[in-house]
Amino acid sequence: MKIAITGGTGFVGKELTRLFHTAGHVVYILTRSPKRSTPNTKYVQWLKEGTAPEKQLEGIDAIINLAGTSINDGRWSEEQKRQIYNSRMEATEEVLRIIGKLIKKPSVLINASAIGVYAPSDTVTYTEASADFGTDFLARTVLDWEKLADHAKVHGVRVASARFGIILGKEEGALPLMSLPYKLFVGGPVGSGKQWVSWVHVKDVARAIQFAMETPSLEGPFNVTAPEPKQMKDFGKEIGKALNRPHWIPVPSIAMKAVLGEKSQLVLTGQRVLPKVLEQQGFQFSFPSLQSALADIYK
């Protein structure tokens, strides 16, 4: 297959590219700064004036849209929030423009999304059937992002929105920052400790995207979270065990708010989210438990 990926040089994009190469697919990475292409990786310049990426993408079978400014970079100033929102909308609008220009349309668009769409809760369990959405910045961004991506349907393209949980990997993602206090022997419960962490191993993220791409009956939103979410206090204990470090020094909410401001909601609140659509479609997680995921990451 010929597969186009926006955001292909990022955390998930790199893992996905490795997986697709193993399966023998050719990957087209849309980037502002293209590298020299190889037989199985084609770099295509986009989002720059005068570029026409559609000319190199005729005949692609699928598009995976992962592009957008990271929510983990820096404190959330009003300018940072604008960049987070606008980068997602602009990239998705360009994806839609490209699809419209292609003579042969791709069969599917897998669009990145996030479980931040659900309202924070310590008691509710969310599935894709849940409609209790948040009203904060992240939830509004996700809802607008999914709604925009759905416009690809007018071209006869199947659209599936991957609502990512907290993605775990050794070098990138949330885990390096979350594990740092433990490596310094000062790890402990953050905030109340009751908030839910709906996590997923980055390898399962890539496998879930591939599965969605190859499953014609899968469309609409699907949660990309492991089937065993953990409360923060238990999540921290598992990190401590995996690193052979103590879990003992609490980090109060007021300290996190002072350091991170509005962005502190990423660690002080959470949602218990289950991947019902993936499970109903027959997807099997390689790392269903946090213990197995951390063992693989820190092996």
Q: Are 280 and 220 in contact (CB under 8 A)?
A: no
Higher-scoring residue by pLDDT: 190, 164: 164
Taking the alpha carbons of 144, 149, 150, 152 in that order, is the dihedral positive or negative? positive
Tens digits of per-residue pLDDT, 9-48? Answer: 999 999 999 999 999 999 999 999 888 998 999 999 999 9
- Ramachandran category for residue 191: left, alpha or beta (phi over 0 → left; psi -120 to 50 → alpha): left
Sign of CA dihedral 198, 173, 1, 162: positive
| Other residues' Cβ atoms within 10 Å of the Cβ of residue 79 | 9
User: For residue 211, what pLDDT band results from cuts at 50, 70 and 90?
Assistant: very high
Please state, for a pLDDT cut of 70, what percent of the chain lies above it.
96
With H, G, I as helix, E, B as strand and everything else as coil, classify residue 144: helix
Residues 67, 49, 156, CA angle at the centre, nearest 5°? Answer: 55
pLDDT band at 250 (very low <50, low <70, confident <90, very high): confident
Q: What pLDDT is stored for residue 263 in this prediction?
A: 64
The candidate with the shortest Cα–Cα distance to 286, out of 199, 168, 207, is 207
The one-letter amino acid code at 147 reads: K
Query: Would you call 4 helix, strand, or coil by DSSP?
Result: strand
- Average the pLDDT over 267-277 and give the result: 92
57-104 pLDDT per residue, tens: 999 999 999 999 988 776 778 898 999 999 999 999 999 999 999 999
**Average pLDDT, whole number, for the chain?**
93
Residue 174: what pLDDT?
86
Residues 6+ apart with CB under 8 A from 116: 134, 136, 138, 139, 141, 142, 271
154: Cβ–Cβ under 8 A, 6 or more apart, which residues?
none
Quick one: pLDDT at residue 261? Answer: 72
**Domain 2-297: what homologous superfamily?**
NAD(P)-binding Rossmann-like Domain (3.40.50.720)
Spell out the domain ranges in the chain: 2-297
Distance CA 82, CA 188 (A): 33
